[in-house]
Structure 1
Amino acid sequence: MSIAGLGRVVMVVPTYDEAENIAWIVGRLRRAQPDVDVLVVDDGSPDGTGDIADGLAAADPRVSVVHRTAKEGLGAAYLHGFDVALRAGYDVIGEMDADGSHQPEQLGALLDALQQADLVIGSRWVPGGSVVNWPWHRQALSRGGNLYVRLLLGMSVRDATAGFRVFRRTTLEKIDLSTVASTGYVFQTDLAARTLRAGLRVREVPIEFVERVRGDSKMSGSVASESLRRVTEWGLRERRRQLTEAVRRRRARTAGSGRSRRARSGAGHP
């Protein structure tokens, strides 16, 4: 079954040690959007998350599971899931966390916005967006990180690090996933930047983000360090590209002006 105007939709849900949450979040998603399929991508969770997901898939044909043998990072899990979904012929491929921070009941707003977009991001930092159960320093870190992304990469997106989003399959095909190397949470920034560089339409819709109440966060110092390092590298590379392009254009204008002056000076001679 498909959603009017969008076609077949699947939400990719990566998991690692989410035994406490996976049945709960998949159940909420299936109730909120009965026409949306679910693809769980489990990174070999030692707590039995994969087995629970297999049970959900056995009971519901709209749920499927991909088992990976190692924990290789959020980006790697999503890339694997996207590849499976694209090969399965889905028209819309979404992503969301398994811990309940992304509320399935708000997915409808993202899908509605996708009617006029190529990527829709559920944003905490646009008017109407909010976070629940985050201390002020965590909010400051997220807001500051997104400001750093906007300044360094020249992006207009307010919440480029957000992980609740839906893509058209044509978007994922156009941004060349085979060249994506980011594995941690910076994966989200990478794909948003690629979508904008491709000239595609990105929209943000406000969501209420809820901090997990069960299980452990996967955010770590190494993940944050990778994000900072990669965004800085991309920003410096983009500034070098812009500078090189500006120099090239200036030289071209100078050369053109020189040819024009020579042409005018020679115009009065037989």
Structure 2
Amino acid sequence: MVILIPAFEPDRQLPALIRSIRSTRPEVPVVVVDDGSGPAFRDVFDGVRTLGCHVVSYARNQGKGFALRAGFGFIADNLPGRDVVCADSDGQHAVADILRVADRVRENRDQQWGTSTMVLGSRSFTGNVPARSRLGNSATRLLFALATGERIPDTQTGLRGYPAAMLPWLRSVRGDRYEYELNLLLEAKNNGYSIESVTIATVYLDHNSGSHFRPLADSARIYAPLLKFLASSFTAFLLDTVVFVLLTAAIDSLLLAVVGARAVSSAVNFLVNRHLVFERGRDTSPRKAGVRYFGLAAVLLAANFGLIRAFEAIAVPALPAKILAEITLLVVSFAVQQRFLFTGGAAMELSAGSRSRTHISA
């Protein structure tokens, strides 16, 4: 096992965490990534280096996602074959919980399927929890469930365990800042990985004053994959509804109205999703993505028509029935597109330019 800790302008909690790890499990390698903290924090990193940590550093702040990938790269190159547990530098993760996650990764690895399971340390959010942290996690958890149909207790936890076999994929996922960790959850099933959660303590020191999370900018980055899809789907829904209303006024056939409206909205939605919504949409060939997408559209069209008929059978008018059917099928559409349609191809490594700016010491 290796413990990986990304750190930007850390306070006294970082050396305290390292000392606690050293006193509990002195044999475990610890890799600390200095995410461009600058000369003012050199003493802090020199201090953790004297405690036996490997320190990866670069000059300019790049973000948590970049720091994690830099750490994964160092571990893959210098400590190969080891599982990795990521922890935050602000003292919010107790050593007992870090080891609990590590033990669960090891237990999973001992089983045949365990090399493809990431383990999340999930906080219960009980007690004295800052309002922004409680509300932020609740909002992300709800959006994640709406968009994917999966329920994860703590989507924003920084305490995560990964088996060694997962490192190449971890280095390929996009996102340089806080959105990276949500992207891992969104892309996991696409790539054959499962997610497991273990309960950990909820710890906030000094009302989370050590956090560098920017509520507006970083929340926008985190929610972007989900909100872009919801916005794309809502635009397609509006277009579909307008065409549906026009066709029902022009022709006396519910089936033709539904099919015609869906043909127009699906074409627009496919182009938007492929080019703007899904990060790897353009990595998939247009023909392959198109066949899959319009196959899905045909299935959803049949389901849409059946739901409208069912709602009308219980005396729901055509337009409200249409709206209810679209909302019902929204989650299914995102989950299938995210996992099967716009999955992209080969994994990417950190660029040579990124590596050339990285300094490693032990």
TM-score (ref. length: structure 1): 0.76
Matches within 5 A, 1:13-162: 13-46=5-38, 48-60=40-52, 63-88=53-78, 89-114=80-105, 115-116=107-108, 117=114, 118-124=117-123, 129-136=124-131, 138-162=133-157
Aligned residue type for 1:123: S
Instruction: Please say if residues 50 and 67 of structure 1, whose CA atoms lie closer than 8 Å, have aligned partners that are also in contact.
Output: no
- Aligned-residue Cα RMSD (Å) equals 2.8
Letter of the 1:165 counterpart: R
SS in 2 for 1:36: coil
* Alpha-carbon separation, structure 2, partners of 1:72 and 1:169: 24
C-alpha distance 191-250 of structure 1, shift in aligned 2 (>3 A):
closer
Per residue, is there more helix in 1 or in 2? Answer: 2
**2:232 matches 1:218:** no
Find the aligned partners of 1:25 and 1:206 in 2 and give their Cα distance.
20
The aligned length equals 235
Which of 185, 189, 199 lines up with 1:192 in the alignment? 185
* 1:181, distance to aligned residue in structure 2 (A): 2.5
Q: Secondary structure at the match of 1:209?
A: coil
Greater fraction of residues in strand:
1
Kindly, what percent of the aligned residue pairs are identical? 21
CA contact (8 A) 2:36 2:62 kept: no
Contact 1:120 1:202 in 2 (8 A): yes
Q: Is the 8 A contact 2:122 2:197 kept in 1?
A: yes
State the Cα distance separating 1:26 from its structure 2 match: 0.9
CA distance in 1, matches of 2:60, 2:189: 32
Question: Counterpart of 2:211 in structure 1: which amino acid?
Answer: S
Q: Distance in 2 between matches of 1:203 and 1:54?
A: 35
Which letter does structure 2 place at the counterpart of 1:52?
V
CA 1:177–1:244 in 2, change beyond 3 Å: closer, same or farther? farther
Contact 1:130 1:207 in 2 (8 A): no
Deviation at 1:146, TM superposition (A): 1.2
2:4 is the counterpart of 1:12 = yes
Structure 1: which 5+ runs fail to align?
Answer: 1-8, 252-270
Aligned pairs for 1:154-193 within 5 A: 154-173=149-168, 175=169, 177-178=171-172, 180-193=173-186
The 2-side partners of 1:137 and 1:45 are apart by 25
Unaligned regions of 5+ residues in structure 2, if any?
A: 109-113, 233-272, 282-288, 302-362
Cα distance, 1:147–1:215 mapped onto 2, change above 3 Å: closer
User: Is the alpha carbon distance of 1:70 and 1:245 closer, same or farther for their aligned partners in structure 2, counting shifts above 3 Å?
Assistant: farther
Distance in 1 (CA, whole Å) between partners of 2:189 and 2:205 is: 30
1:176 and 1:43 map into 2 onto residues whose CA distance is: 18
Q: Which has more radius of gyration?
A: 2
One-letter code aligned to 1:121:
L
